[in-house]
Amino acid sequence: MYTVGEKIASIKGQLPEQVRLVAVSKTKPISLIQEAYDAGQRIFGENKAMEMKEKHEALPDNIHWHFIGHLQTNKVKYIAPFVKLIHSVDSLKLLKEINKQALKNDRIISCLLQFHIASEETKYGLSAKEAYDILSSEEFKTLKNIRITGVMGMASNTFDTDLVREEFKYLRTIFQNLQYDFFLNDIFFREISMGMSGDYQIAVTEGSTLVRIGSSIFGAREYRTGSTK
């Protein structure tokens, strides 16, 4: 059995320098997160606001907490004081609430726009058109306490690696188009959050800058099923 520290070291050893590891610690106990922290890991991903708040309070201050799950507007207030990056923004309504709570906390909160890139119906996320509508809106321009730093997506849960690769390529194309159309010369717009335990190697070759890895570090891997396409 490898320790959490050894698994993190092994994954980090495979990542190019510009790719950062988000250790997805959702559902995992404080003790296991502490173990990863002691091994040098600083970025952790959670998908429930209250759970992330509790873990933030129990663990060292210099952890970078990334929110990676579907975020309800009424939960934003729990994480606004400390969250480092919200990967999962999928509406203008949510962006407005994040802006409001960021303002209350005298912060600027970094956010990624989450895109629906999988062929599966179940995943959350924007279409390219919806993102263009948000970013072109007058309302968006008034939001001074949020900063869009890139894009996020989840590929299909499938063994079909060609399909997964196409979906990641598509996300990268969206990133490049948005960069050209809305964020030219914006040095903060630089993140492509893609890749999980089962597909991060593909994501890295397609330009990921943030991989979100849970089960390969902390165990309890979910089984990947066949494509639903």
Give Rg (Cα) of the chain: 17
197 belongs to the binding site for ligand PLP (CB under 6 A): yes
- Ranked by CB distance to ligand PLP, the top (closest) residue is 214
Residues near 178 by Cβ (< 8 Å), separated by ≥ 6? 113, 131, 135, 151, 189
Residues of the chain by 3-state class (helix, strand, coil), percent to 5: 40, 20, 40
For residue 187, with 0-12 CB atoms within 10 Å meaning exposed, 13-18 middle and 19 or more buried, which class applies?
A: exposed
Among 25, 41, 47, 99, binds ligand PLP (CB under 6 A): 47
Among 125, 150, 153, 198, binds ligand PLP (CB under 6 A): 198
Separation CA 77–CA 96 (nearest Å)? 12
C-beta of 47 vs 149, nearer to ligand PLP: 47
Binding mask 4-33 for ligand PLP (x = CB under 6 A): --------------------x-x-------
214 belongs to the binding site for ligand PLP (CB under 6 A): yes
C-beta of 148 vs 213, nearer to ligand PLP: 213
* Structure-token match 């005298």, residue found: 106
- CB 184, min distance to ligand PLP, A: 28
Among 177, 215, 225, 228, binds ligand PLP (CB under 6 A): 215
Separation CA 46–CA 141 (nearest Å)? 29
Residues that bind ligand PLP (CB under 6 A): 24, 26, 47, 68-69, 154, 196-198, 212-216
